[in-house]
Structure 1
């Protein structure tokens, strides 16, 4: 058993410990700082590789150097050296960040050295990207791509533009470089257009010695810096030229259905079957309607030139020959009308270069199409509901019809 005196001593000892613990001052923890300007990657100058137009340059210090409230700095040379030093303002963003804001845009391709103690950072001012181009990105395919215009907000060095610009020509659609060609600098020239006022934008025209061929994609690439390691900073423009002039399709004319079998276009009249609501079967009546004009419609991917009948007979070869040939222009189509016989297979042939489009481009490839017209369903119609016929006069009746050989 524990004696009464020992228990009393133990109680007094515990009370003394509790009193001393309550009397000891509490140590406050230092709160974290959230408003400190500091680069997460540890860089001391930002940006650390290149400059664009009016980019500011910010210098970070490892400890408090400037005023906590920030403000303008009149003697930045005490903390940092910038060479060359353009016009602008130095300002503290906090005690550890000093920023320079240029008054004018950085001169394209110029070099700027920022020295902070023994550390030195070299920055390169990038070439600006064009504000607009002609033709524009995503424009319709060009029939004549002989030049490209680049418009900048301010003048740039034409020699640097020539040095940093490349043009590649690929076969359409331009996805693969296979079959492409990189144009040499002698294949084009770059000229600056005159400006009316100093504040106006500056346009540079790239004129090709020879027009870009049809069915091509011209890829203009402009490196924004000639510094090694900055090749990823590139402006790209893609322009398409129109596909070569070609005949795309032959079809039957209005009133005829198209049916292709064994490479032969078979033109069947819509009037060869009874209309809905009529009696079905072999004896179904087919109401009379004039036979549709037999014609072949030839479609192109561009508007063909206007041709006369002599030119048509030279360019459009139809075998066997037909009578009463006529050619009608309708936009990007030519309608070939003639006395085509029933159940006769014809072949239309157009040689390469035999036709030109409205821009003077020759047909890029030959075209041929075999076709035939089915026989019309025979039908007759009276021209008059009543009349007088002479007994011994001409034995003629006022009828008109279709589908009968004469």
Structure 2
């Protein structure tokens, strides 16, 4: 039905002759294919007006409903003498589009929602040749089926009936996102797939069936993703007596060109190594005789350009070989480890310590080699930091046992010189204690920690204090951004926490009646440098109640640091109370709250029985059981039910 409203009443018979309805298929542009409805196709009914000044409303009851996917234009002539095309007013509206597939394709580059590569699809079917195959983004592995309206959830059975692939695709999944069905699967690269849309039992959210009378067919393919290969770290440690794997990340590379150079672990030309692998262009001529870079003697870290020149001047490496990788040309990206054990053994022997530069180069047109720094060691250093000292502990990575006789050296700068700031040798327990010098305002000398060196025989471990390990304190691990051990050359007073008084005061229960005695007890301790000691003095327990009333009870702490008092008064008001301890200087210690209330001890309990989860649109039952504490069931008592609804938070 169509409702029209006029300011003045019109004879329904005249209105029926003045109105014509034009039906155009969507999008409703142009009059081609239009169908007209005249007075023979509808009836005009006048609605009753409540007052003469009210507007007049008429309802056009159509003999047949306006089809879906139609734009209806109501033409109203000015008089009966006008032609139907000479309407003075047009009112247009559109019916809902039928539920159908409108396009099939995939997202554009970058998975942008606004850019798509798709072909239109009609209910009668559309066919596109293999020469018109859609090129989908490499690695996306998804196709998009766009509907005119939002479909209901489509499961694997409905999805496979609707969308079919030749050749078959593994691991297919279907997900509805608004009006789009996202089809994901394990599509092979560089292989054309024929996609066929067939009529299936699929409905939209309004429960309308899919309008599809013929099959649609098109071709898609997914290009191969670009290959890459690189280090996942710029430097690291590998165990001398254990696995010697270094991390890589890549795709599509089956081999690499590997080179190893052995270094002096204390050579500052390669220390500290940057946070990212160092690239060196091997198409450039290396330095010739007399062109080698000078040793690095500056106090600051070596610059990247200088480090690249030092690497280029290393000459022919002792190891240069091609290494097979666990990657495949058509495979997916993966992170994996490369075993350096056989290659390191060729340089220094099996299970021998040392520092190495490891370079990889891709077997393609690239001329760049990427280098990382690796230390092969069995040493591990742990520092236990005291308020004014550091205990160094050296252990074996393989056995976890302490290493006796290991030398520890803290290197850094002082007065623009590279010096040893601290050194020592571990004892039989593998530890060495070093008193921190701190900061002397009378003789201010700025010292900066630059390097930590641990050595045992020919095994040398070099650590960068700018990359300090995680710290353990207060029963948990936490990361730190501080320079390792730099605090040892700064003021130490703030590192020692001041003494702290701890008081635990309590009552034997939280609620009392006005005529009952409140028992208050407590303990007082002083915590200083990790130890607890009792405090003993004459003090006062202060009790505060409603109406700003206060009661004081003198107490004397025992040698064990405890105290006790009993609080009982006549005609005490009901309400909340608090109690705390005070010394002679009115310093408060601890606090406890309790309540005085003329309560009645309950004689029975009530339990509710209901399922934990129930359907949102279904009924459920709740049972009630009441039992006397003295025994027996509570019967014949009135029950009032109250149901409260609250939001459920999904995690």
Q: TM-score range by the shorter chain?
A: 0.3 to 0.5
Choose between structure 1 and 2 for higher RCO, CA contacts under 8 A separated by at least 6 residues: 1
The structure richer in strand per residue is: 2
